[in-house]
Amino acid sequence: MMQEEAYVRESTIQESTIQGNTIRKNIIQENARQWKGFLAHNINLDIRRYERNLKRFNRGGLFLFTFFLILALLPVLFAPYSPTERFMPYEAPSTAHLLGTNDIGNDILSELVYGARISMMVGFASACISTLIGLMIGLFSGYFRGTLDELLMGFTDVVLIIPKIPLIIILGAFLRPSIWTLILVLGLLSWESIARVVRSKTLQIREAGYVKSARCMGFSSVHIMASDIFPNLFHVLLPKFMLATASAMISEASLSFLGLGDISMKSWGIMLSFAFSRGGFIRDMWWWYLPPGICITLCVMSIALIGFGFEGKEKENGKRGVDAE
Amino acid sequence: MNILLEIKDLNVSFQGNETENKNENKSENKKEIKNETKKENETGTVTAVSCLSISIREKETLALVGETGCGKSVVAHAIMRLLPPESRVRGTIEFGGKNLLGLREKEMAKLRGKEISIIFQNPSLALNPVYSIGNQLAEPLRIHGQEKGKGKEKKKTEALSKVAGALKRVGFSNPHEYMGYYPSWCSGGMNQRFLIAASTILDPVLLIADEPSKGLDRDRVSELENEFKGLKEKSETALLLISHDLGFVRRLADRVAVMYAGEIVEIADTSSLFESPRHPYTRGLLNSLPERGFVPIPGLSPPLSSPPAGCRFHPRCNVKEKRCMQEHPKLKESNGRAVRCFLCP
Amino acid sequence: MKHEIKQPIRQGLKRELRQGLKKVEGGSKHGLALTVLILMLVSNMLPAGAEGAGAAGESLQMSKSELSDTIILYMKILYLGEEGELPEAEFLTGAAAAYLEQAAESDGSVLKIATPNVIKSASFIGDSNLGVFAHLSNPPLMKMDADGHLVGQLAESYEVSENNTQWTFYLKDDLYWSDGKKVTPKDIEFSIRYYGEKTPWARWINDTLESSAVSDADNSVTFKFNKPYTRINLEFATYDILPAHVWESIENPMEYLNEGPYVGCGPYYLKQIDLNAGKLVFEKNPYWKGKAPAFGSVEVHFYSNVDVATLALENGDADTYYKYAGSYPYPNIEQLEKTGDFDFLEKTNIGLVFLAPNLKKAPLSDLEFREALSYAVNYEEIVRLETLGYGDVPNHGFVPPSMEAFKETEKLEYSPEKARKILENAGYSDSNGNGILEGKDGKDIELEILIRPDYARTGELLKEYLEQVGIAANLRTVDADTWITMKDSYAYDLTVTRSTPWGMLMHASWGSGYFDSRRTGQGVMHNVEDPKFLQLCDEALATTDPAELEACAHELQDYYAEELPAIPLYWNNVVTPFNREFEGWYADPLYGIYNLDNFLNVHGI
Amino acid sequence: MSLKAENLSKIYGSGLLGGGKCIFRDVSFELEPGKTFGLMGPSGEGKSTLGRIIAGLESPTAGAIHFKGSPLSGMKKAEYATFRRRVQMMFQDPTDAFNPGKRIEHSVSEVLKLLDTPGTERIRRTKEMLKTTGLPEEVLARYPAQLSGGQLQRLALGRILLLEPEYIVLDEPTSALDVSVQAQILHLLKKVQDEQGIGYLLISHDEAVVRFMSDSLGMLENGKLDVIEA
Amino acid sequence: MREGLKKVVRYAASFFLIVTLNFALPRLMPGDPVKNLIGEDVYVSEGVMEELRAGMGLDRPLYEQFTAYIGDLLRLDLGYSYHLHSPVADILRDRIGWTLLFVGVSVLLGTALGTLLGAYAGWKPETKANRLACCGFITLSCTPPYFLALLCLEIFAFKLGLFPFKGFYDVPTPGSIAHHMFLPVTVMALFSASRNFLIMRGSVIQEKGQLYALYARAKGLYDTSILFRHVIKNASLPIITLLALDFGFLFSGALFTEIVFSLNGMGTLIYDAIIGKDYPVLQGSFLVIALAVLLANMLADLLYEVADPRVRRPA
């Protein structure tokens, strides 16, 4: 019994920490909780309301994100020049070069457009790694419980405590600055919170009637995890994935600033670090150092907003039926 | 006996797109009203309670009975004005000569907890987990400033003794020990009693109990019954009992109102209702009780968003006639009983 | 803040005074002199109040009481007709003006230097950056003059024995420590031996110094080594001389942390190392007998971010900028010019940026290939992009013209056609038609260019140039430490690096230290095993005779031009911005503006 | 042919550290096909735990369960698979009995797939199941959230019936339902039992329900089971 | 009891892992530390190099180095920095004070600001001001810290000339320190606040829907008094956990801020140590930060137990 309670407490604390992150737009004020059943019975008003608000809230994020995604996928459409083509260096914005040129005469706008792909790739690739690890650890830990859970979660807690950025910096310095090692390092060091959320959600779902009856009916553990638990984790996973992407992008930019990035891959972070190290900042060339910074912020924000939105949505996933109609 | 609370034509509806309208409302007031009515029809508005009229007399126990989702809790929250902002409440709720629905929030706050109190169905959640029982029991005293013009210390000791008294009243022999407890340390039954003590500490004129027996097992329910009986004996409080548990209601209530699909279908004295139910729904409900052999009513309750035309019960009624399907029956009163059925005298 | 407000007032005051003195003739001179004296008193008190404790006041040559005595004396003579030796008014006003200037500057006017060379610990001996800054307070024996010749600094002169093992330095007579003691040859002997014993980088002294002798009679110190050394005069231009009576008792100077003050014998002494405020404070050495410096104190402000340092300069928080072996960032010059407060001192750097091929690996072991490579690089573009015009296309001879014994060799030329032709003639051709030349082994030539982040842009350009002549190139960016490991194990085809002034001078000088395969070191390529080159080095190392040295230098430069052990990419200038209100700036090739003469010369306009 | 529980005990939290808490001790009873054994007792006394042990979802600390004469713990894989299919459990809360992300149709056909039922057969059996439980066909296209508690509980029962179980553990099958729906479900259960001869273990805190349904009943109190023949 | 023991085991494991990581990581880095020690352009014979290497203990087998390391740790000897020429423990003691002051003040300010604004924003999420605040804090939390620091520096120190560029002070007086610390503390506090704001806002939105909040209203409380009397205490519980985890985050944030503002604290220390491959300092500072975070977590655990009666249920 005590064991159970410990789980519950842990998961509530963890949950609230993580869900606290959520920015939910005015979900139905929850004194409706009591007649939630009543409302659900009739029509899922709260969901529709919520959906609408969510959409409104996310529309901006989704729009921005799509924009950046298109930039990343089809830079040719937007970049006026090749990012390696050289013109006069240090030129101010003009009609020929909307954002001017940098220290070796590359068109900054083109560089910016091509940078989207690399920045977002770092974010998504490392988020994929961390999400995958987090999912596996959380799922197994939550589903099988017992000693495995103790060990895995103990390990997770230990990793959680280690300060990340210094470790990433040390590792970044140790491994040679290549974009792949960066992705690997970022991915390998940010799965713990995902694992914890997945675990607590798994614990919760595991006790749901449909999982219990599935076990009762003789479905295999793999089938249950894949077919009953995973789809319902998706809603916790997606926001986590998005937030992991966002934080990986920030970390990449920060490491680039410290000179630990991969210079041959011109991400926004690298652009920024060049803008600072090659006089863009001091020459007051705001058209050089502001755009990559703003792009990082906006892109991270769009991803985070979508993540927050999904996180809110997750709350209501019990009633997902309606929005699927 | 005087009428304490009178509800007339209460309509409560919930709407889907409230907040968005609200923001736009401010700019274009007149236009919006038109739009709103239009929208109401388009986006399925749920009328949780329609045309509900009921009155509670002083010291009386009135029970509101019905199945899950029939809108009985909405009535309780409407009286307390605790409904979420997106609900639309029409009608009048008269209490002590004032229309509660017309009061400002500040004035309403003064009534809450002092004149009208409520007990929620889930006591462990209704108590704040991070404050001690004593603290939470004393809170109504603090809010409603019972002892004006006295020293702080004195106030405190007085509050303490009051809290102790209240706890004793609900059956705790050593109240001072329990005052330091937290809700999470206590069982649901104990929390239920704490909640009752907190809600009755200022001797409200009206106590609303919202599904107090839900989720309790047999022993606890009888404990609770004793609690309420004691309360009725010791104080002047009128009780609005909202429950789906017919046995529980039968033992406590003076009068019973039965709700179905957002409407009252029958009001009667407890004894006459249980002995000779008139409305077919009431009859069906009583028949599905264990002691009558679990005879079920066929079919399902209709969704409130699209109640059937005519009598709302007609799809499940075994004595229905043609007009039941077309006309909506009115609540007819006779001999202190009221029934919403064409077929009943 | 207070200083900044007062500074202009005080300067204005000075200017008026000077003009006033010129105009006023005859009788009114006395009155004016009095006014000056009173002003002196007032101005003396103002900053004292501002400084609070009045620490600055102590270093004044004339104290307040002395000043007021003079005023009283003056008044008596003037108005009471009292007999007395009336000081000559003309002389007095002159002295007063000078005094006023000094008084004002000794507490208020500070020379502020911004630098990105951050002092990391308050260890006088241990911190390498501090070692450079301490030249001001503890000057080395020798220095390099503007032409790159080594001359005495604390030493009046020196001589070296026939076999180059015995060096004698004759000390200047008028040197005093800031605690009043005289600088003796023993201090020099102590310092040199002390470094040899206590610091790892000067261990060679300990290992080879046979004996040393001090002669108080001719104020000299003699060092005898167990093997010939010809470049001691250069070495001794880097070791800060320490007061024996202070440091004797310090067992472990590397670990000796002290925020100051430190006893020094230069025009200033190091008063404080304040790491938390990020500055060094040098205060005037009261016992300095040489030319009086114009500033009461010199402050070195260090910034961990170059941009912030330059911003500080633009904002007028500092008067000049210093970076060891480096220039003010070229891109930032334009911005600083706009403020109108700064002038720039330009001096050709004796260090340079070069492309080092891996001579142990084909195809770069092939001289013809290297030659072709030297034609493939667009030097003018690199100079334009990397130095923004503050540099030159280099010669084949590697050594920049600012170095002693420079020999004019052929300028490097950009000609992709020539490069291609040479490659073709040498047997590198694109037989499979994929646009990439094949090496002698028949495989495509794909060069790995190893770069540190500092040369990222240069690397990008090089890659392009190589591709233009049909050579595939990969950029591999590594951090400085990895770079060292990789270049030491010759795990590269090409790499971009730079030489520092000191690096150009070390070993047999003229950059030979970078190539001699017998050497090791952080920035050293040690890639030339050619006996001809090694012999040249040995010859240069065996002589102190200027003529012989020059001959060696010319031969070395010819060797570079012919064998291309490295392809210089650009010669750059060291640009130092300085506040227009000061003049007399001067930079030496070794330490730039951070030399004693400069600090003695610079003064307000 | 029976499901027998012998001397079951369950102790929680008996690990390396701490002593643990005894839920019940030496509980024995037997389920017979076509009969209902009612299990009553105050909440928190481990009725549900006992139910889960009988259904094989948890293992007892001591004691054994015999299915058709062979003990559960010593079963081979194939044997266990039959047990797994023949003994089912129905839970208290109908609202989470189905995966909220899948349509009812999907959840049902998944079970049939598990049984390797061919496609045409599946449709027939689904329809048959709906008929037995008295539900319209349109519920198949719905998501669980769109159905009422009564409907879901019927479906839950229906889904279990697809497996053709011999015993069903009913864990508070009606306590989350309204009285009128409760009556419906109880009648349905009885009907199914009569038709298919299934043995029930009915766990409920409501004495009236237990007495209404059971052939024999037991009271689990203070960790002990008192069997009272009805 | 069981829980407590588990926690102790967990913390001990964390400690061990940190120590091991700490030992292993710097040693894995490429580059010869001895060469770094001597400095560029200096010629030193191989013999001297070996001697120095032996002095640093780097030629011994790893396990020997490890046991020696653990032994030193137990004596609170964190090694000796050849770059900074003093025992690492001394350097850390010297630097950590400033960083603690800097981080501490920022955390306090940030938490206070973020929590209060967040609580209010969560209580009335629909008002314009709160939406604006929300957008602002989201933007902040999505900006790389160094970018914001540099922008602040450019605008407030350079363009407006309101604040100095570097250092903790000019003269060590409280006024000067406050003047110098204003910008870096503001930047850090904003970051801390942005995190706390979002958490608190979400937490309040969640908590205000709880039944006890409704019951508080039913008792006669209204509007913000419900927030302050009932909701805020519940909602701020997650902040406690966050604060502990934040501690590590802020240390890292401090790194960037310190570099930008040329502050002589732990951040620059670590940065320099990475650049210079100063193993002992790296080990020492990583250990200190990790231990600080560990300690903060333990403290949070304890605090949680005090603050949340659900956790400290009597047996």
Q: What is the pLDDT of residues B77-88, one digit of tens each?
A: 888 888 877 778
* Chain A residues lying within 8 Å of D142, measured CB to CB: 321
Position C568 scores a pLDDT of 94
Q: How many CA atoms, within 13 angstroms, populate the side-chain half-sphere of residue B113?
A: 26
Contacts of E31 in chain C (CB under 8 A): 480-482, 484-485
- Tell me whether B113 touches chain E (CB under 8 Å): yes
Whether C contacts D, i.e. 3 or more CB pairs less than 8 A apart, is no
* E126: contact with C, CB 8 A cutoff: no
Q: What is the mean pLDDT of chain B?
A: 80
The amino acid at B17: N
Give the chains touching A; criterion: ≥3 Cβ pairs < 8 Å: B, C, D, E
pLDDT at B37: 37
Q: Yes or no: say if E26 and E274 are a contact pair by the CB < 8 Å rule.
A: no
What is the predicted pLDDT for the residue at C569?
Answer: 94
pLDDT at B188: 78
In the predicted structure, residue B112 carries a pLDDT above the cut 60: yes
Interface test with E, best of B130, B179, B195 (most E CBs within 10 A): B130
Give tens-digit pLDDT for B256-278: 999 888 888 899 999 988 888 88
Mean pLDDT for all residues in chain C: 82
pLDDT at C258 over 50: yes
- pLDDT > 90 fraction of chain C, expressed in percent and rounded: 39
Chains that touch B (3 or more CB pairs under 8 A): A, D, E
Quick check: A41 and D148 CB within 8 A?
yes
Which tokens sit at C190? 């102590």
- By three-state DSSP, how is residue B43 classified? coil
Residue from the list D97, D103, D114 with its beta carbon closest to the beta carbon of A210:
D97
Q: Which of the listed ranges B11-15, B178-182, E288-292 does the model predict with the highest average pLDDT?
A: B178-182
Q: Out of A3, A4, A232, whose CB is closest to D101? A: A232
Q: What residues of chain A, 120 to 159, have a C-beta less than 8 Å from chain C?
A: none
Going by C-beta distance under 8 Å and a sequence separation of 6 or more, which residues neighbour residue C88?
none
Residue E302's SS3 state is helix
Per-residue model confidence (pLDDT) at position E264: 84
For chain E, give the mean pLDDT. 80
Query: At what angle are helices A230-257 and A108-144 packed, to 10 degrees?
Result: 140
Residue C191's pLDDT is 94
In this structure, what DSSP letter does residue A91 have? P
Per the structure block, which two tokens stand in for D90?
A: 């129905």
Q: At residue B157, does pLDDT exceed 60?
A: yes
Contacts 24+ apart (CB under 8 A), E290-294: E290/A161, E290/A162, E290/A163, E290/E18, E290/E22, E290/E248, E291/E15, E291/E18, E292/E247, E292/E248, E292/E251, E293/A161, E293/A162, E293/A163, E293/E244, E293/E245, E293/E247, E293/E248, E293/E251, E294/A161, E294/E11, E294/E14, E294/E15, E294/E18
Q: What is the pLDDT of residue C77?
A: 56
Chain D residues near residue A210 by CB distance under 8 angstroms: 96-100, 107
CB contact under 8 A, E91 and C121: yes
Judge whether residue A114 has pLDDT over 50. Answer: yes
- Give C413-435 pLDDT, tens digit per residue: 999 999 999 998 998 888 888 88
- pLDDT reading at C8 higher than 70: no
Q: At what angle do helices C379-387 and C456-468 cross, to 10 degrees?
A: 160
Interchain proximity B218–D179, CB inside 8 Å: no
Q: How many Å apart are CA B266 and CA B332, to the nearest integer?
A: 9
Burial of B278 (0-12, 13-18, 19+ CB in 10 A): buried
User: Which of C96-100, C227-231, C309-313 comes out lowest in average pLDDT?
Assistant: C96-100
- Tell me what pLDDT residue B295 has: 83
* Interchain pair E167, C279: CB under 8 A: yes
Q: Which of D57, D91, D100 sits opposite A317 (nearest CB)?
A: D100
Domains defined along chain A, listed by start? 71-320 (1.10.3720.10)
| Mean pLDDT, rounded, for E277-282 | 74
Tokens of E120: 């209010």
pLDDT, average across residues A217-235: 87
CB E196 within 8 A of CB B90: no
Task: Provide the pLDDT for residue A110.
Answer: 92
CB contact, 8 Å: D85 with chain A?
yes
pLDDT greater at residue A217 or residue E83: A217
d(CA D203, CA D189): 13
Given pLDDT bands bounded at 50, 70 and 90, which one contains residue B146?
Answer: low
Q: Give the mutation candidate from E41, E155, E264 for the C interface (greatest C CB count, under 10 A).
A: E41
pLDDT tens digits along D41-93: 877 778 888 888 888 888 888 888 888 888 887 788 888 888 888 899 988 88
Residue with more model confidence, C458 or D180: C458
pLDDT class for A220, splitting at 50, 70, 90? confident
Q: Is the pLDDT of residue E148 over 80?
A: yes
CB contact under 8 A, C329 and A279: yes
Q: C558: pLDDT confidence band, cut at 50, 70 and 90?
A: very high
How much is the pLDDT for A129? Answer: 95
Closest-CA residue of chain C to E146: C305
Q: Are C134 and C599 in contact (CB under 8 A)?
A: no
Q: C93 or B208, which is more confident?
A: B208
Query: Is-contact A8 B60, C-beta < 8 A?
Result: no
CATH pick for E94-307 out of 3.40.720.10, 1.20.1250.20, 1.10.3720.10, 1.10.260.40:
1.10.3720.10
Question: Is the Cβ pair E209, A27 closer than 8 Å?
Answer: yes
Query: CA B213 to CA B228: how far, in whole Å?
Result: 11
The chains in contact with chain D, meaning 3 or more Cβ pairs closer than 8 Å, are A, B, E
The minimal CB distance from B184 to the residues E210, E223, E310 is found for E310
- Chain E residue numbers with beta carbons less than 8 Å from the beta carbon of B109 are 217, 220-222
Chains A, D: CB pairs < 8 Å: 92
The string of DSSP letters for B144-199 reads TT-STT--HHHHHHHHHHHHHHHHHHTT-S-HHHHHT--GGGS-HHHHHHHHHHHH
Q: By three-state DSSP, how is residue A325 classified?
A: coil
Q: Is E14 in contact with A26 (Cβ distance < 8 A)?
A: no
Rounded to a whole number of angstroms, the distance from the CA of A251 to the nearest CA of chain C is 18
Residue A317, amino acid: N
pLDDT the model gives residue D136:
86
Q: What is the pLDDT of residues A3-53, one digit of tens each?
A: 333 333 333 333 333 333 332 222 222 333 333 444 443 333 344 444 555
In angstroms, what CA-CA distances link E223 with E216, E218, E228?
A: 10, 12, 9
Residue E230 has phi, psi (to 5 degrees) of -120, -50
Q: Check E209 against A257: CB less than 8 A apart.
A: no
pTM, rounded to two decimals: 0.77
CB of A111 less than 8 A from some CB of C: no
For residues A288, A292, A294, A295, the Cα torsion angle rounded to the nearest 10 degrees is 140
Domain with CATH 1.10.3720.10 in chain E: 94-307
Indicate the burial class of A317 (C-beta count within 10 angstroms; 0-12, 13-18, 19 or more). Answer: buried
User: pLDDT digits over B271-325, tens only?
Assistant: 988 888 888 899 888 888 877 778 888 877 777 777 888 888 888 888 888 888 8
Span C453-471, pLDDT tens digits = 788 889 989 998 999 999 9
Q: Which of residues 2-21 of D touch E (CB under 8 A)?
A: 13, 15, 17-18
Average pLDDT over residues C312-323: 90
Query: Averaged over E46-54, what is the pLDDT?
Result: 69
Q: Is the pLDDT of residue E33 over 90?
A: no
Position E55 scores a pLDDT of 66
Q: What is the pLDDT of residue E23?
A: 76
Q: Which of A221-235, C384-398, D15-29 has the lowest mean pLDDT?
A: D15-29
Question: Which domains are present in chain D?
Answer: 3-229 (3.40.50.300)
Max CA separation in chain E (angstroms): 85
> In E, which residues are within 8 Å of A294 by CB distance?
none
What is the per-residue pLDDT across E102-147, written as a single tens digit (0 to 9) for each? 888 888 899 899 999 999 888 887 788 888 888 889 888 888 888 8
Beta bridge partners of B334: B337
| pLDDT surpassing 90 at residue C280 | yes
CA atoms within 13 A on the CB side of D142: 15
Neighbouring chains to C with at least 3 Cβ pairs closer than 8 Å = A, E
| Contact yes or no for E237 and A16 at CB 8 A | yes
| Fold held by B3-115+250-339 | Rossmann fold (3.40.50)
Which of C198, C489, C520 to mutate against chain E (most E CBs within 10 Å)? Answer: C520
Counted across chains A and E, CB pairs separated by less than 8 A come out at 175
The predicted structure's pLDDT at residue A54:
54
Binary contact (B14, A52; C-beta < 8 A): no
Predicted complex ipTM exceeds 0.85 = no
Distance, CA of A86 to chain centre: 35
Q: Name which of A283-287, B30-34, C374-378, D57-61 the model is least confident about.
A: B30-34
Rounded to the nearest 5°, which phi and psi values hold at B47? -95, 105
pLDDT at C175: 92
Predicted confidence at residue A5, as pLDDT, reads: 32
Q: Return the exposure string of A213-246: e unless at least 16 CB atoms fall within 10 Å of the residue's CB, then b.
A: bbbbbbbeeeebbebbbbbbbbbbbbbbbbbbbb
Which residue reads 């039944």 in tokens?
A: E211
Mean pLDDT, range B169-187, rounded to an integer:
84
* The predicted structure's pLDDT at residue C268: 93
Decide if A286 touches C, using CB distance below 8 A: no
Inter-chain CB proximity A45 and B46 less than 8 Å: yes
Q: Torsions phi, psi of C452, nearest 5? A: -90, 160
Which residues, numbered 157 to 216 in chain B, qualify as contacts with chain E under a Cβ-Cβ cut-off of 8 Å? 182, 184-185, 195, 198
Q: What pLDDT, on a 0 to 100 scale, did the predictor assign at position A321?
A: 27
Helix pair E237-260, E88-123: axis angle to 10 deg: 130
Closest by Cα among E43, E196, E187 to E113:
E196
Tokens of B111: 């009534």
E231-266 tens-digit pLDDT = 888 888 878 877 777 677 777 778 888 888 888 888
* Residue E94: φ, ψ to 5°: -65, -45
Predicted confidence band at C22 (pLDDT cuts at 50, 70, 90)?
very low
Quote the minimal CA–CA distance from B15 to chain A in Å. 7
Q: Quote the tokens at residue E245.
A: 């985890």
pLDDT at A47: 42
What does the alpha-carbon distance between residue B174 and residue B194 come to, in Å, rounded to a whole number?
13
> A103 contacts in C (CB within 8 Å)?
331, 385, 457
Q: Amino acid letter at E137?
A: F
